[in-house]
Amino acid sequence: MAKKKIFIIAPDFYGIDKSISRIFGSFGFEVVLKNTRKRLEPAESIALKAAKSVPLAEPLLTPLIKSYLDRDNEEYISLIRDAKPDLLFVIKGETIYPKTLEAIKNGMKIPCVAYVWDCPFYSFMGQFADKYRKNNFADCMRMYDHIFVHDPYYVREITARGISHVSYLPLATSPGQYKEIDISAEEQRELGYDICFVGSPLYNRVEVLDSLREFRLGVFGDGWDKWHWLRLKKTPDYYKGKAVGEKVLKLYRSSKIVLNIHTPEGREGVNTRTFDIPACGAFELTDYKPEMDRLFKPGKEIAYYKDLVDLKRQVRFYLDNPEKRRLMIEKGKEKVLESHTWHHRIKDALTYLQNKNIIIP
């Protein structure tokens, strides 16, 4: 019997898309992965900025801006028509036009499933990157055979819009990517912060990190110089530059406390860092989200704070108690590996889809 084929449309996001593809393959599926564009084309980016800066010019620029997304959608249809998959699995989905999904689902008779990792309505802190993407997922919701969402809050938001075929599927980690690695004595001295954070700057993150200046704090990520420059501020001295690949793992392993600060759009569910940090054998202190109480045993497998006063109290406590950190590292990693990997999530998704006959085993 021929293998069932799954066609995945997903952003190229820190290797998660490739991990999910491999796991579908491990369950016996033939997988075709199509990444959405990581960056805007130069002319597209210039036109978008011009349209925002000079609203009167927007009607003239619209055909050019929209032409790039038109091209993307034409490519999706062509590739899927050639591949003839048994299932389309879309991660996020803001780049897919309703007419494209209709052509795939109704024209080609291919079941379509979405997995949403952030705000389903393409809004970041109430702002939209551009109007050609912002409504696509919302306009497609009724056509999907099922929608998985990473945060229970957004399950309710989608349900409130009259969509019943939606359910909660938490995020997870890739243990082949996030794992314990050896640290040299020199690396330990260089990267062994009291507290480290890896991520981009946001208002809530800057507020938290500014409150921790009294500790040996190391912050890494993209966009910190620009974020502060745009606000006529000096980049803080706790910002130490970019970190990717093995450097992230070494930071996690070397630092006493690895801080996890969610974006403002994270309402109840947790981000991938929640699982990545313990998977590396590192100690995580994170801002509180209600789902943590279900996913972990608080105080034993995960540590969280609820405000800045609580944060400082917990930082001091765990810095003064290395044995407490060691025990939580051990228990946290054990819990993640036994319950919170992408293998677990894809297995749960496939079980659901097979029980609903959306995909036939």
297, 278 in Cβ contact below 8 A? no
pLDDT reported for residue 119: 82
Q: How far is CA 29 from the centre of its chain?
A: 24
pTM of the model: 0.92
- Range(s) of the chain covered by CATH 3.40.50.2000: 5-172+342-355, 185-339
pLDDT reported for residue 258: 98
Query: Which residues of 158-282 form beta strands (DSSP E)?
Result: 166-168, 195-198, 217-220, 239-241, 257-260
* CATH 1.20.120.430 corresponds to the domain 185-339: no
Among candidates 147, 157, 172, which has minimal Cα distance to 91?
147
pLDDT reported for residue 97: 94
pLDDT in tens, the chain (361 residues): 578 999 999 999 888 999 999 999 999 999 999 999 888 888 888 888 888 788 888 888 888 888 989 999 999 999 999 999 999 999 989 899 999 999 999 999 999 999 998 888 875 554 555 667 778 899 999 999 999 999 999 999 999 999 999 999 999 999 999 999 999 999 999 999 999 999 999 999 999 999 999 999 999 999 999 999 999 999 999 999 999 889 999 999 999 999 999 998 889 999 999 999 999 999 999 999 999 999 999 999 999 999 999 999 999 999 999 999 999 999 999 999 999 999 999 999 999 999 999 987 7
303, 329 in Cβ contact below 8 A? no
The predicted-structure confidence for 317-351, as pLDDT tens digits, reads as follows 999 999 999 999 999 999 999 999 999 999 999 99
DSSP line for 137-177: HHHHGGGSSEEEESSHHHHHHHHTTT--SEEE----B-TTT
Question: 5-172+342-355: what CATH class?
Answer: alpha beta
Q: In what order do the strands lie in the sheet with 217-220?
A: 239-241, 217-220, 195-198, 257-260, 284-287, 303-305
Residue with tokens 């929640």: 274
Among candidates 127, 84, 134, which has minimal Cα distance to 104?
84
Please list, residue by residue across 152-170, b when 16 or more beta carbons sit within 10 angstroms of its beta carbon and e when fewer do.
bbbbebbeeeebeebbbbb
pLDDT reported for residue 60: 84
The predicted-structure confidence for 270-301, as pLDDT tens digits, reads as follows 999 999 999 999 999 999 999 999 999 999 99
Instruction: Let me know if 35 is exposed, middle or buried by CB neighbors in 10 A (0-12, 13-18, 19+).
Output: middle
pLDDT reported for residue 242: 92
Residue 114 Ramachandran class (φ > 0 left, ψ -120 to 50 alpha, else beta): beta
* Token pair recorded at residue 347: 């297995």
Residue 15 Ramachandran class (φ > 0 left, ψ -120 to 50 alpha, else beta): left
How wide is the angle at C-alpha 291 spanned by C-alphas 211 and 338, nearest 5°? 105
Helices 203-210 and 308-320 cross at an angle (nearest 10°) of 50
* 3-state SS, residue 191: helix
